[in-house]
Chains A and B, each alone.
Chain A
C-alpha cells in the first residue's frame, strides 16, 4: 500500500499595505457602485510596497519549513504554482530556482506549472503528491508561489468587474508519511476551447512590444457561458466516487476567493458546505490566485473548523480553462 502524503505546514505572506476596493476602482477609472460592491464582496486587497514577489515567496517558504520542523537541506523538490507574470519571463526563468538557492535547499530540484488560474495550486498539489508517493528518494516537497498584480490591472474585466486582485505569496510543506491533512486524490479537467479565456496578450510573441496590451484580460462572454456549476459538480462527484465517498461525507469545502457571486455558486454546488473563512478572506484579501487555497486552509485550521478525520474538499473552476477538485483528510 502506498504511503500517504500530507500537509505538514503552510504559510502565507501578505504585504502590510492594503487599499480599499473603492480606491482601486477610482484609480483605474472603473465605476464603483453598491451593486458592484455586493456582487464582489471585496472590501480591500493587500498591495506590495516595494518588496519583490520572490522575496515574499522565500519568506513564506522559510516560515512554512520552520512550522513543519523541516530543515531546508531535507527538501527534495520545490514546486511552483504562480500564475501572474514574474520578475523575469517564464518559462526561461522560474522563481522556484531562486527559492531553492535562497532557502538553501541544496539537494532539491525544482518544477513549476503554468496556467489554470487558482487551479494551478491543485495541479501542483496533485503533482507533488505523485512525485513523493512514486519516488523512494523523494520524501519532502515545498510548494511555493508569489503573485504580484500588473500595476493598474487589479480590477479584472472593468466593463463588468469579476474580481479585484491582491498581491501575495504562500508556501506549503508536504511530506510522505504525514498523518494529518493527507491528500486522498485530485480530479482535473481542461476545456481547451477556453485556453485564452483569461490571458495577457501583450509582452508575448504575438504582441511583443505593445505594452498597452500587457494586462490580464478576461473574455466575459465565454466566462459566463462556461458551465461552472456542472463541471464542479461532475469533478467532485467523480473524485468522491473513486474514494467510495459522497458529498454527505465532506465536512467542509474550500473554494477560491473570486467574488461573492462566484462563492454563492459554490454554495449551490456543494450544498452550503463552503467554509465561512472563504467569504471572510475574500473580503479582506480579494483574489490571490492559488494562494486563496492556502489562506483559506490556514484560516480553517486556525478557526478550529475541522477535526481529525474530517474530509475537506478543495475546488476551483480555473476561470473556465482548468477546473479541479482535491480531497484532504484532516
Chain B
C-alpha cells in the first residue's frame, strides 16, 4: 500500500448542550446483570457528563465537523474525490438504504466526489474506513483527497451503554491526502469475530411488533446488549484481539511495540483505560486520558482524542502513534500514524 497517504487534517464537533451522568442514570433503565469487572459502574466510570444533540440531527453533527475540518485545512471542497461516512449508530434515515455521505457532499459542495458509507465495525469503524480509503487511494491514481465523516446522535434515553460506557453525541471529520510527509498512515490492521455478531444490536423494524415496545424491547431504535454473552464470550477474547491487531500492524510495517510513542484508545471508562494500560504496559503519559470528560463518542473517540492529543502537545513531530479500538460486530482495529 502507498504509505504516502496521510491525515492532512482532522476535526470534530460537539453539541454545546450537556447532560450530567447522574441525570442519565436517573432517566434511563439500568440492567441488573452483574459486570465482569469488579467495579461500580456508576461511581468508577470516570465520565461526569456527556454532550447531547437535542434538536440537532445526526447528519448535522457530521456536517459541522466536515465544515470545521475543511475550514481548518484550507482545502477547496472541489478537491475531494471520495467521501466515506463511518457513523456506527442509526442515522437520520434507515441504513443501508441511506447514509449521510450524500447529504454531507451536498452541504460542503464536494461536487466531484463519490459518496458512500462503511457500516461495519461499530466504534472500530474508523480503522476499517482508513483501511478501505487508503486502499482505494493507493489503487486509483485519480483519488487524491478523501473526506471521512461521522455523526452520532443517540436516541433519547439510550445514552447508558451498560456494561461498557455512557455515550455522548458528536461528529468528526478527517481529510486524507496523498503525497504527504507528515502524519503518514503506515498501516491498518482490522480483525472481526463474526460469531459475536448479535451480542450488541438493535432489532430491525421487521423483527419488532408495536406490542414489543416497552416490554421485550425498551423503545424503538434502542441498543440491546446480551450482557451474559458479553461477559462470557467477548470479555475473554478482548485483550487477545487487541494484541492481535496491534502486533499485526506493527509486523506489517516492521516496527515493535517499544517504537510506539503514543496511544489513542477509546474513552469507554476509567477502568477500561486502566485495564488496557496494564495489559500492554503502557504508562499513563503515553496514552490520552483526557477524553473521558466528553464521555464515549463511538468511533469519533479515535478522531477527537487524536486531535486533542496533538493540540495538547502530547504528540510531536517524529512520533509513531498507535490508534486502537474495538467495536460492535465484534471488531478490533489498529492504525499506525508516523508524525
Query: Which residues of the partner chain A approach B205 to less than 8 Å between Cβ atoms?
Result: 85, 89, 202-203, 211, 214
Query: Which residues of the partner chain A approach B206 to less than 8 Å between Cβ atoms?
Result: 85, 87, 148, 150
Query: Which residues of the partner chain A approach B85 to less than 8 Å between Cβ atoms?
Result: 114
- How far is the CB of A103 from the nearest CB of chain B, in Å? 9
Query: Which residues of the partner chain A approach B102 to less than 8 Å between Cβ atoms?
Result: 115, 190-192, 194-196, 321-322
> A99-119: which have CB < 8 Å to B?
99-102, 105, 108-116
Of the candidate stretches A16-24, A122-130, A255-263, the one touching chain B is: A122-130
CA distance A54 to B127 in the complex (A): 25
Interface assignment of A84: CB less than 8 Å from any CB of chain B: yes
- How far is the CB of A32 from the nearest CB of chain B, in Å? 26
Given contacts A94-B329, A130-B132, A211-B205, contact A89 B119 (CB under 8 A): no
- How far is the CB of B115 from the nearest CB of chain A, in Å? 4
Query: Which residues of the partner chain A approach B104 to less than 8 Å between Cβ atoms?
Result: 192
Q: Are B202 and A206 in contact (CB under 8 A)?
A: no
Interface assignment of B207: CB less than 8 Å from any CB of chain A: yes
- How far is the CB of B83 from the nearest CB of chain A, in Å? 8
Partner of B110, one of A97, A112, A192, A200: A192
Q: In the complex, how many residue pairs between chain A and chain B have their CB atoms under 8 Å apart?
A: 263
Query: For residue A84, which residue of chain B has the nearest CB?
Result: B97
Given contacts A93-B328, A322-B116, contact A112 B96 (CB under 8 A): yes
Given contacts A92-B122, A94-B120, A115-B102, contact A126 B136 (CB under 8 A): yes
Q: Are A92 and B220 in contact (CB under 8 A)?
A: no
Q: Are B96 and A83 in contact (CB under 8 A)?
A: yes
Interface assignment of A272: CB less than 8 Å from any CB of chain B: no
Interface size on B, residues (CB 8 A): 80
CA distance A98 to B140 in the complex (A): 31
Query: Which residues of the partner chain A approach B100 to less than 8 Å between Cβ atoms?
Result: 195
Query: Which residues of the partner chain B approach A89 to less than 8 Å between Cβ atoms?
Result: 90, 94-95, 201-205, 221
CA distance A134 to B136 in the complex (A): 8
Q: Are A205 and B203 in contact (CB under 8 A)?
A: no
Given contacts A97-B192, A115-B96, contact A192 B115 (CB under 8 A): yes
Interface assignment of A209: CB less than 8 Å from any CB of chain B: yes
Q: Are A94 and B113 in contact (CB under 8 A)?
A: no
Interface assignment of A220: CB less than 8 Å from any CB of chain B: no
Given contacts A115-B116, A199-B98, A200-B98, contact A97 B136 (CB under 8 A): no
Query: Which residues of the partner chain A approach B106 to less than 8 Å between Cβ atoms?
Result: 192-193, 195
Query: Which residues of the partner chain B approach A90 to less than 8 Å between Cβ atoms?
Result: 95-96, 119
Interface assignment of A204: CB less than 8 Å from any CB of chain B: yes
Given contacts A80-B120, A193-B106, A208-B220, contact A113 B90 (CB under 8 A): no
Binary CB contact string for chain B from 107 to 142 against chain A (1 if under 8 A, 0 otherwise)? 100111111111111100100100110111011101
Partner of B97, one of A97, A99, A198: A198
Interface assignment of B200: CB less than 8 Å from any CB of chain A: yes
Q: Are A123 and B116 in contact (CB under 8 A)?
A: yes
Interface assignment of A50: CB less than 8 Å from any CB of chain B: no
Q: Are A91 and B88 in contact (CB under 8 A)?
A: yes
Partner of B125, one of A91, A205, A242: A91
Given contacts A89-B95, A196-B93, A203-B94, contact A112 B132 (CB under 8 A): no
Interface assignment of A236: CB less than 8 Å from any CB of chain B: no
Interface assignment of B8: CB less than 8 Å from any CB of chain A: no
- How far is the CB of B265 from the nearest CB of chain A, in Å? 20
CA distance A135 to B252 in the complex (A): 10
Interface size on A, residues (CB 8 A): 73
> B206-262: which have CB < 8 Å to A?
206-207, 210, 213, 220-221, 223, 252
Q: Are A111 and B92 in contact (CB under 8 A)?
A: no
Query: Which residues of the partner chain B approach A101 to less than 8 Å between Cβ atoms?
Result: 193-197
Query: Which residues of the partner chain B approach A134 to less than 8 Å between Cβ atoms?
Result: 1-2, 134-135, 138-139
Query: Which residues of the partner chain A approach B92 to less than 8 Å between Cβ atoms?
Result: 204-206
Interface assignment of A316: CB less than 8 Å from any CB of chain B: no
Interface assignment of A189: CB less than 8 Å from any CB of chain B: yes
Partner of B192, one of A83, A110, A195: A110
Q: Are A111 and B132 in contact (CB under 8 A)?
A: yes
CA distance A129 to B139 in the complex (A): 9
Given contacts A97-B329, A101-B195, contact A92 B202 (CB under 8 A): yes
Given contacts A100-B192, A101-B195, A135-B135, contact A91 B97 (CB under 8 A): no
Query: Which residues of the partner chain B approach A120 to less than 8 Å between Cβ atoms?
Result: 96, 116
Interface assignment of B191: CB less than 8 Å from any CB of chain A: yes
Q: Are A195 and B98 in contact (CB under 8 A)?
A: yes
Partner of A110, one of B87, B91, B194, B252: B194
Query: For residue A193, which residue of chain B has the nearest CB?
Result: B106
New A-B contacts (16) at CB < 8 Å, excluding given A90-B95, A203-B220: A86-B204, A87-B203, A91-B89, A91-B122, A92-B90, A93-B198, A93-B328, A97-B192, A100-B197, A114-B99, A120-B96, A190-B115, A192-B111, A193-B106, A200-B97, A324-B114
Residues of B within 8 A of A (CB): 1-2, 57-58, 83, 85, 87-107, 110-122, 125, 128, 131-132, 134-136, 138-140, 142, 153, 155, 190-198, 200-207, 210, 213, 220-221, 223, 252, 328-331
A-B contact pairs, 5 of them (CB 8 A): A91-B91, A111-B128, A115-B99, A129-B139, A204-B93
Residues of A within 8 A of B (CB): 2, 80, 82-94, 96-102, 105, 108-116, 120, 123, 126-127, 129-131, 133-135, 137, 148, 150, 185, 188-196, 198-206, 208-209, 211, 214, 216, 242, 321-322, 324
